[in-house]
Amino acid sequence: MRTHQVFPLLLVIASVASENASTSRGCGLDLLPQYVSLCDLDAIWGIVVEAVAGAGALITLLLMLILLVRLPFIKDKEKRKPVCLHFLFLLGTLGLFGLTFAFIIRMDEAICSIRRFLWGVLFALCFSCMLSQAWRVRRLVRQGTSPAGWQMVSLALCLMLVQVIIATEWLVLTVLRDTKPACAYEPMDFVMALIYDMVLLVITLTQSLFTLCGKFRRWKVNGAFILITTFLSLFIWVVWITMYLFGNSSMKQGDAWNDPTLAITLAASGWVFVIFYAIPEIHCTLLPPLQENPPNYFDTSQPRMRETAFEEDMHLPRAYMENKAFSMDEHNAVAPGLDTESHHPNSLRDILEN
């Protein structure tokens, strides 16, 4: 009897192990089920997005380190002002790459709360930093001076605080008051909670257009990169909202593609921020300052010191030669007179003697 009881038990254990191995191909057997998507070869999208997000996070950390190390060597006052704003933007971009992993792993109450809260807040932080930078570049292009660094950082934090209040209120009203699970929300509710982020994005895009008009052309490159970044971000938002609300359901995928859509959106937005905004801004910040008033050797409105001194040196021998020539002519002209005068006494003497 015991042998007949042991063999079925072993078969059950083997079948359970084979099921676990088959459902998590590429992962260890001791891995928790909610983290299977991080290494499951059957869901290859999770591995690809995880690799892309991880590489973006490393690049962002490297940019923060470079900016921190080179900070003492930035001598231009106008380039030192937005350094704190750049750090704040890189911190928000790093958060976007980190939030990507929350959409790869399986949902639970804590993960859903993090998703709902941090999505809008992190994007609001990045868009607010770009809006503050667009305000700065617009002032530089038109007036040549920018606002103080604390003013730009304060503006970005205040604009982000609005989204923090919106996300907190949404969680409190739906989870605590209505006692609903954190994962029980409709896609339309998720998008409606991000309207403030869309408003920030549109305002930043509009503000970046004005950075291309002004007399100080050296700052227009910064405005052009802000314009490109906001335009690409707007394109990504239109695509992911369309897929999230209508595309997935029309393709009869339902909730199966919701998490991949949001994860890909986070990774793509983070890389757009890094390539088209963070790297150009940090490059422009670390460049040595240009010479304010370079000498224009073709400008004849003002005398040049070297030529003036040279002309003065040339005038001296010329005047000396002219004076010398004049004195020689005068001597030649007077010498015959002196000879005639010297002959007058001799002629008078001759007359008296005669």
Which H, E and C letters describe 118-134, residue by residue? HHHHHHHHHHHHHHHHH
Q: For the chain, where are the alpha helices, taking DSSP H only? A: 2-23, 44-69, 77-80, 83-100, 109-143, 149-171, 187-192, 195-210, 220-242, 248-250, 258-273, 279-286, 305-353
Lowest mean pLDDT among 80-84, 92-96, 117-121, 122-126: 80-84
Reference 92, options 156, 31, 13; nearest CA is 156
Kindly tell me if the per-residue pLDDT of 7 is higher than 60.
no
User: C-alpha dihedral over 224, 230, 231, 234, to 10 degrees?
Assistant: 180
Alpha-carbon distance 264 to 269, whole Å?
8
Identify whether the C-beta of residue 168 lies closer than 8 Å to the C-beta of residue 113. Answer: no
Task: Please state the pTM of the whole predicted model.
Answer: 0.75
Alpha-carbon distance 93 to 57, whole Å?
8
Tens of pLDDT, residues 190-217: 999 999 999 999 999 999 999 888 788 8
The arrangement of secondary structure in 32-286, i.e. its CATH architecture, is: Up-down Bundle (1.20)
Q: Which residues contact 164 (CB under 8 A, 6 or more apart)?
A: 121, 124
Q: What percent of the chain has pLDDT over 70?
A: 72
Kindly tell me if the per-residue pLDDT of 320 is higher than 70.
no
Q: Count CB atoms within 10 A of the CB of residue 162.
A: 16
Q: Count CB atoms within 10 A of the CB of residue 245.
A: 15
Kindly tell me if the per-residue pLDDT of 189 is higher than 50.
yes
Structure tokens, 76 = 């231009």
| Per-residue model confidence (pLDDT) at position 27 | 73
Q: Count CB atoms within 10 A of the CB of residue 174.
A: 18
Kindly tell me if the per-residue pLDDT of 236 is higher than 60.
yes
Tell me, what DSSP letter sits at residue 43?
S
Identify whether the C-beta of residue 208 lies closer than 8 Å to the C-beta of residue 218. Answer: no
Q: Which residues contact 76 (CB under 8 A, 6 or more apart)?
A: 289
Domain ranges across the chain: 32-286
Structure tokens, 67 = 């900016």
Q: Which amino acid is at 167?
A: A
| Per-residue model confidence (pLDDT) at position 354 | 43
- DSSP letters, 133-187, are HHHHHHHHHHHS----HHHHHHHHHHHHHHHHHHHHHHHIIIIIIS---TT---H
| CA 148 from centroid of its chain's CA atoms | 18
| Per-residue model confidence (pLDDT) at position 290 | 57
**Four-residue CA torsion sign, 22, 26, 30, 31:** negative
